[in-house]
Amino acid sequence: MSFSFMLGAGLPALFLYYALWRGIYNFFFHPLRGVPGPVWGALSDFFKLWILHTKKAHLLGLKYHERYGPVVRAAPNLIAVNDPRLLPIIYHRHADKTDVYTPAVLGDVAPPFQTQGWAEHARKRKRVASSFALSNLVKLEGQVDERVIEWCTILGTRFADTGKRMDFAAWSQWFAYDTISQLSFGEPIGFVREGRDKGDLIKNFHDMAPFAAVVGALPWLCAPILQNPLTKWLFMPRPGDSSGTGKIMAFRDALLHDRLNDPQAHHKGDFLDNILAAKNEDGTLITVEEVKTECFVLMVAASDTTAAVFCGFVRYVLQSEGVYNNLISEIDGFERKGLLSSPIATFDEIKKLPYFSACYRETLRYQPSTPMIIPRYVGKDGLNLYGNYLPPGTEIGANPYVVHRNKEVFGEDADIFRPERWLEDPEKEKEMDKYILTWGYGTRICLGKNIALLETYKLLLQFFRLFRPSIDDNDRVWRQENLALLVHWDFWIHIARRSLAR
């Protein structure tokens, strides 16, 4: 019997024996063996792949908590909770992120949101935080206005004036990508202008999402492979390759090259200028590779999440009884009083519309853009939870979609879209706001939050100010998939022009 034959037969057998031993350990001897949850989740991390395959992790989360209770063992070493009041305990200042955030698809250099250690995260965040401050973003409001006006003008001529239906999901994605490109580099990619996914850039990027999800689900298996120089060269995206990620990298690198070779480089006032000027604690500038990573994260992470807010807001405002009429009544009332600038309202003006803001906050609660478990490590002292002891190193987290439907915090009607809940009781409003997980939590709240607020507030207000939308088919509104980000397709609507109230 040849050595190669024995090796070929022995390796699968060895793997099978290991998998069997690991399953037995996880189910009968693991420190979390007493925590209830699905059997396959207790046996193996590979159960996560089935969850990802369904593209409905948020709905399965609700189902499992309904069946097993407030604490669910979602994987051998992963605990999911549905009680919002546990968020300050889980996401405290010194909580480290888990290896789910291992750098992979986004590049070798970890941006702040992928940085696992809390101390290193604080250092990295401090360097660029001022770029994301609302006071700095307001300086870029005019650039957002340009993109909003372009978008609304094209929608008016292509759809409102012709009666043709439009895919709101596609057009909201194109706006989001163009706007974040404008804010990052000073110019849009051109999706809205051309009315298409240029070069299938977004499609190809979405095609990479399952790969990124597998890396996040099985980091202990994928990270060593992807960090190998050969496999990294074979599988990881590179600037200019055929993947959507590679194309975005190439677009970023070209604009960065132009800026670095411009003798008056720092003159546009966009994010690239700010990030190029970011400094370490010792006063040195951050590296070019770190600049590339920050810009890339802005483009890919801030676009789909923003588009999901657009889609959720429009759908649930139109489908929830009385909400559209209340919203339009408020917009028209502010219009008559001269409280909304023309041709486009300012961000400060829009923030003063209470019902619009309530609809926005309810959208973030009801349909968060990242409906996935956001894990942290249990600290050195362990954690006692509902009679279960979780030892140090246990992964624990919550899914925003799940915790936002907690009836004790958000009301008995937490499973329906009702903006009025944010306007009824100031104390209850504060409590609900404290436990919103859409942007992350505590010191790890998303750096791009203010960017998203600026562009979504302005586009949504202008859209409802100018147009009367109607959904084509209320029984089949859209196609929605949970790719760790909520992504939408085929959200078909008609729009008609509205006259501004006078």
Domain ranges of the chain: 31-497
- Binding residues, by number, are 446
Structure token pair of residue 431: 């409590």
Among the listed residues 195, 174, 440, 476, the one whose alpha carbon sits nearest the alpha carbon of residue 315? 476
282 burial via Cβ count (<10 Å: 0-12, 13-18, 19+) = exposed
pLDDT by residue for the chain (502 residues), tens digit each? 554 544 555 667 777 888 899 999 999 999 999 999 999 999 999 999 999 999 999 999 999 999 999 999 999 999 999 999 999 999 999 999 998 877 655 666 777 878 888 998 899 888 888 878 877 777 889 999 999 999 999 999 999 999 999 999 999 999 999 999 888 877 898 999 999 998 888 887 787 777 778 888 888 888 787 777 777 777 677 776 766 677 778 878 887 888 878 756 555 667 778 888 888 888 888 888 888 888 878 777 778 899 999 999 999 999 999 999 999 999 999 999 999 999 999 999 999 999 999 999 999 999 999 999 999 999 999 999 999 999 999 999 999 999 999 999 999 999 999 999 999 999 999 999 999 999 999 999 988 898 899 999 999 999 999 999 999 998 899 999 998 889 999 999 999 999 876 6
Global pTM reads 0.92
Please give the Cα distance from 497 to 319 (Å, whole number). 19
| Top CATH class, 31-497 | mainly alpha
Q: Token pair 């919203």 is at which residue?
A: 327
Q: Which residues pair with 482 in a beta bridge?
A: 486
Burial of 6 (0-12, 13-18, 19+ CB in 10 A): exposed
Burial group, residue 46, by CB count within 10 angstroms (0-12, 13-18, 19+): middle
User: At 410, phi and psi to the nearest 5?
Assistant: -100, 0
Annotated binding site for heme: 446
Q: Is 434 left (phi over 0), alpha (psi -120 to 50) or beta?
A: alpha
3-state DSSP call for residue 368? coil
Cα-Cα end-to-end distance for the chain = 91
* Distance separating alpha carbons of residues 402 and 368, to the nearest angstrom: 10
Q: Which residues pair with 388 in a beta bridge?
A: 385
252 exposure class (CB count in 10 Å sphere: 0-12, 13-18, 19+): buried
Contact 293, 107 (CB under 8 A): yes
Count helices and strands in the chain by DSSP H and E runs: 23, 11
Cβ atoms of 390 and 397 within 8 Å: the answer is: no
The continuous run of DSSP H or E covering 410 comes out as helix 407-410
